[in-house]
A and B are shown apart, each in its own frame.
Chain A
């Protein structure tokens, strides 16, 4: 099974940087995903990490340390439209099922 923890809420100012941490415990790891979910909308894929290190994609970057069971999503140059919930999900090695954290609600203020 999976146990995934991420902060409930974070607030930041437009133009700033925010780092959302995710820690997990798993019996078999096969990748970590970050999804963005605006209120009332579908979760949309942001990033995928299966090896240790940093993956950069525009203003968003995701980091993984498998030995520490730790990942973070870094949002740079924050914009108002980045206000959303960010979901950390871990995929199981045996059945490829995704287990989601409860999500981190990020509020960007002017």
Chain B
């Protein structure tokens, strides 16, 4: 079974530039999550989708971050404009349902903002 795919693996940008990350969840998984993991910290949930609808985006800085999952499968997370404090690993995870036990994670995109 293929896992959660993310791209790119690494991205370096300058502050005020924009960047986008892509995630392809495990086939059949209705729920998709984006997490931000700052060095030395645990993952923090940014946004959760159920199919193509947003379930929770309370921790998403909406003035600069946006995410979509138009067809209920792939998802993109965008940052515009980026700030230095956005340097982190952005992890995508998926699960079969919202109340399912296990979230499966992708390897993440490591973003460095200079």
Could you tell me the distance between the alpha carbons of A101 and B44 in the complex, rounded to whole angstroms? 10
- A102 and B40: CB pair below 8 A? yes
Whole-angstrom distance between the Cβ of B53 and the nearest chain A Cβ: 15
- B42 and A103: CB pair below 8 A? yes
B48 within 8 A of A: yes
The verdict on A89 contacting B42 (CB below 8 Å), with A31-B101, A43-B91 known, is yes
B19 within 8 A of A: no
- Please give, as numbers and ranges, the residues of chain A lying within 8 Å of B77 by CB-CB distance: none
Could you tell me the distance between the alpha carbons of A11 and B14 in the complex, rounded to whole angstroms? 37
Residue of B nearest to A48 (CB): B101
- Please give, as numbers and ranges, the residues of chain B lying within 8 Å of A42 by CB-CB distance: 3-4, 91, 105-108
Interface residues of B in 68-114 (CB under 8 A from A): 91, 98-99, 101-108, 110
Could you tell me the distance between the alpha carbons of A48 and B99 in the complex, rounded to whole angstroms? 13
Could you tell me the distance between the alpha carbons of A87 and B16 in the complex, rounded to whole angstroms? 32
- A97 and B41: CB pair below 8 A? no
Residue of B nearest to A100 (CB): B42
Could you tell me the distance between the alpha carbons of A31 and B107 in the complex, rounded to whole angstroms? 24
Instruction: Please tell me which one of the listed residues A40, A41, A98 contacts residue B103 in the complex, with CB atoms under 8 A apart.
Output: A98
Whole-angstrom distance between the Cβ of B42 and the nearest chain A Cβ: 3
B54 within 8 A of A: no
- B104 and A45: CB pair below 8 A? yes
Q: A48-B102, A98-B45 are in contact. List 14 more A-B contacts (CB 8 A).
A: A35-B105, A40-B110, A41-B107, A42-B91, A42-B107, A43-B43, A43-B91, A44-B105, A95-B56, A96-B98, A97-B45, A97-B48, A98-B103, A103-B40
Q: 10 closest pairs, A vs B, by CB? A: A100-B42, A42-B105, A42-B107, A43-B105, A96-B99, A100-B43, A45-B102, A102-B42, A102-B41, A101-B42
- A residues apposed to B, CB below 8 Å: 4, 31, 33, 35, 40-45, 48, 87, 89, 95-98, 100-103
- B residues apposed to A, CB below 8 Å: 3-4, 40-45, 48, 56, 91, 98-99, 101-108, 110
